[in-house]
């Protein structure tokens, strides 16, 4: 096939040898099957901001770190330079997340490098060597669905333990490989500790997967894994091997706002009295 403009630089640099065929074109990027020596891989070419239908929402960007103070100021001012830096940061987000999650043992495509704005990574295949189907494209036996659910919940926990939430997890960005599900597409990944919408996004991610697999194993629809793991995360008690039950009882107790306010006022008054006492003692000396 004709080499797409975004991949010609990789051929010129010897990173890949051939573009074999397009794999998919989505709202954020176009993915191609490429050959690098004897290996068949895929290359993800990110679309420019003007071409993307996916609008970068503030809730996804909140809590993300920018590598330099100048870049952070420029992005905040939305200057021309800042928009370029924001675009670069958006493209780097998935790359950084893939390496971090791979090191944490999360089943994601193996990244092989990031060149000229193109991510080269593992091509996930089925048992016959064809591109692996998405989770929403396969029929499952109840036991398979339960196994996939356990697997994905465990890997969401691993992600959360390194402070990341997928942010857009569903049956459309989970591939089914012979050795189990593979989670893909991370440009919208969010910071669990730095994003005010993190809990809502985690619940949505897990509930999407539960609803999908619940078609084959309906008892999954009565589980509460997202709420359970978030409660453990907030308490600092979540670990990659934490045993989850899927059960969760919400705290419905009404907060005693007046009591809390009274305690705060008492503490302030005590602090003021101590400060006045120290100042009087200092004057006496």
> Hey, which residues are catalytic here?
168, 185
Rounded to whole angstroms, the Cα distance separating 279 from 200 reads 49
Q: Which residue is associated with the tokens 């008492």?
A: 266
Q: Which residue is associated with the tokens 């901001």?
A: 49
Is 162 exposed, middle or buried (CB count within 10 Å of its CB: 0-12, 13-18, 19+)? middle
Q: Which residue is associated with the tokens 């050795």?
A: 179
Determine how β-strand 29-36 pairs with β-strand 180-183: unpaired
How far is residue 102 from each of residues 110, 111, 159, measured CA to CA in Å?
7, 8, 10
Q: Which two tokens stand for residue 112?
A: 């092989």
Nearest to 133 by CA among 186, 181, 205: 181
46-68 b/e (C-beta count within 10 Å ≥ 16 → b):
bbeeeebeeeeeebbbebbebee
Is 104 exposed, middle or buried (CB count within 10 Å of its CB: 0-12, 13-18, 19+)? middle
Q: Which two tokens stand for residue 125?
A: 């295949």
The strand pairing partners of 36, in sequence order, are 39
């Amino acid at each position: 096939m004709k080499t797409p403009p975004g991949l010609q630089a990789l051929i010129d640099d010897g990173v890949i040898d051939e573009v074999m065929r397009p794999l998919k074109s989505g709202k954020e990027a176009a993915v191609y099957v490429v050959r690098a020596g004897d290996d068949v891989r895929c290359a993800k070419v990110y679309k420019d901001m003007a071409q993307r239908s996916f609008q970068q929402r503030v809730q996804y960007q909140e809590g993300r770190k920018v590598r330099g103070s100048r870049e952070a100021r420029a992005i905040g001012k939305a200057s021309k330079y800042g928009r370029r830096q924001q675009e670069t940061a958006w493209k780097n987000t998935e790359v950084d997340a893939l390496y971090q999650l791979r090191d944490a043992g999360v089943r994601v495509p193996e990244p092989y490098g990031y060149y000229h704005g193109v991510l080269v990574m593992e091509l996930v295949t089925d048992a016959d060597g064809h591109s692996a189907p998405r989770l929403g494209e396969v029929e499952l036996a109840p036991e398979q669905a339960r196994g996939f659910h356990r697997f994905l919940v465990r890997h969401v926990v691993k992600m959360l333990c390194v402070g990341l939430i997928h942010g857009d997890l569903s049956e459309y960005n989970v591939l089914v490989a012979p050795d189990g599900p593979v989670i893909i597409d991370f440009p919208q990944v969010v910071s669990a500790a730095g994003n005010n919408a993190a809990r809502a996004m985690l619940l949505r991610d897990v509930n999407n997967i539960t609803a999908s697999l619940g078609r084959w194993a309906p008892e999954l629809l009565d589980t509460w894994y997202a709420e359970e793991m978030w409660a453990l995360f907030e308490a600092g008690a979540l670990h990659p091997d934490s045993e989850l039950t899927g059960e969760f009882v919400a705290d419905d107790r009404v907060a005693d706002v007046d009591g809390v306010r009274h305690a705060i006022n008492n503490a302030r008054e005590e602090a003021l009295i101590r400060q006045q006492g120290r100042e009087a003692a200092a004057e006496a000396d």
